[in-house]
Amino acid sequence: MAAIVVVHGIGKQYLGAHTLHRGIASAVLDGLRLAGGPELTPEDVGVAFYGHCFRPSGATAVKGEPAPRARDVTDPLETELLLAWWAEAARLEPDRVPPPPAPRNAARPGKAATPVAVQRALHALSRSRFFARTADRFLLGVLSQVRRYLTEPGVRERVQCEIEAAVTPGTRVLVGHSLGSVVAYEALCAHPEWQIPTLVTVGSPLGIPRLVFDRLLPGPAAGEGHWPAGVRDWTNVCDRRDVVALAKRLAPLFPGGPRPVQDVLVDNGWQAHSIEHHLTAAETGAALAAGLVAGEPEDAGEAEDARGDRGRRGGQRQRGRRADAMWRFGKGPQTDRGRWHVPVRTPRGTPGRVR
């Protein structure tokens, strides 16, 4: 069973769980190794795949997937998100990307932009290093997937079903990239019984006001997002040049947890949004390693567990705190063989080991 489950981002509708697994699992293992973390195997890393929920039916009259065009972008959510990305790209690269027009000339929130405005945004974004290799067709498709997940209940439900199928009793860490971070967050909110103690979001758009944050389920209250009940530790990793992760800090938006969200910046080069670049970072590896050792599961079959040995549980919590603190300073407790022994929950509730 997978101790770490990764929820992918947008634009993967023509791939699959096995196709993505090799690259994602390798990146996770590389990040853990850089952080000095546990020695896992690819089988300890799972991929929650939902891309097929956006794959068009082969029964259409048009061969293949119709290429989206600027004039097809009529939904206010899509156009506002596109313009927000344009503004962020101009802020990050003022020498390459011209700024959007003044507010009096730009599309107002809640009103769709004209095809000319959409085309101008696409042209401006093409000058950004971040979007340099992104074709207009792909970018418009990305906008469509974000909009469909957030506004179409049927799509949201199908995507969430795929996450439910991928998570097992042995899952200790849930990772979400890009739109997958929104999916992972909502899944944890909907399933407090999972008791997954650690959430790691990478390249996350969760904090984008109005367009994403205010459309989450459950919705924010008084400007504060809901904290997933079963989560103890949440680390949010992003590159400062990542245009998709418009809100780089999530801690102010999700303040209700036992510990604040740990917002961490990494340098991914100009592939700032790449899932592999996020996962191979030592900072991400440290967050994953800390999550694997947090909250060591207890053997429900032993009598002492049934009686609830408070002293033993208190000692485990204290060791967990020390391990977490050591990881934050780039260190970690090891066995006499120099290898981590990471307990994971098996289907029968007995602790196993990932070596």
Same-domain status, 50 and 162: yes
Q: How far is it, in rounded angstroms, from Cα 346 to Cα 3? A: 10
pLDDT at 353: 35
**Among 149, 175, 201, which residue terminates a domain?**
149
Same-domain status, 33 and 98: no
For residue 345, count CB atoms less than 10 angstroms from its CB and return exposed for 0-12, middle for 13-18, buried for 19 or more: buried
Dihedral of CA 214/219/224/229: which sign? negative
Count the Cβ atoms, other than its own, within 10 Å of residue 76.
Answer: 18
Same-domain status, 49 and 158: yes
Partners of 343 in the beta sheet? Answer: 353
For residue 304, count CB atoms less than 10 angstroms from its CB and return exposed for 0-12, middle for 13-18, buried for 19 or more: exposed
Same-domain status, 80 and 133: yes
Residue span of the structural domain in which 124 resides: 70-149
pLDDT at 118: 73
Same-domain status, 173 and 190: yes
- Residue 312 makes CB contacts below 8 A (sequence gap 6+) with 304
- Residue 44 makes CB contacts below 8 A (sequence gap 6+) with 2, 3, 4, 354
Same-domain status, 183 and 81: no
Same-domain status, 145 and 157: no
8: in domain:
yes
Same-domain status, 172 and 274: yes
Q: How far is it, in rounded angstroms, from Cα 82 to Cα 260? A: 30
pLDDT at 315: 42
**Among 91, 115, 149, which residue terminates a domain?**
149
pLDDT at 52: 96
pLDDT at 324: 43
The CATH number given to whatever domain includes residue 212 is 3.40.50
- Nearest of 246, 264, 182, 184 to residue 209 by alpha carbon: 246
Same-domain status, 179 and 241: yes
pLDDT digits (tens, 9 = 90+) for 56-89: 887 544 444 454 444 455 678 888 888 888 888 8
Low-confidence stretches of the chain (pLDDT beneath 70)? 59-74, 103-115, 130-141, 295-355
Dihedral of CA 123/129/130/134: which sign? positive
59: in domain:
no
pLDDT at 149: 96
pLDDT at 72: 56
Same-domain status, 39 and 180: yes
299: in domain:
no
- How far is residue 38 from each of residues 327, 339, 354, measured CA to CA in Å? 12, 7, 8
224: in domain:
yes
77: in domain:
yes
pLDDT at 8: 97
157: in domain:
yes
CB 199 within 8 A of CB 233: yes
What's the total number of domains in the chain? 2
pLDDT at 61: 43
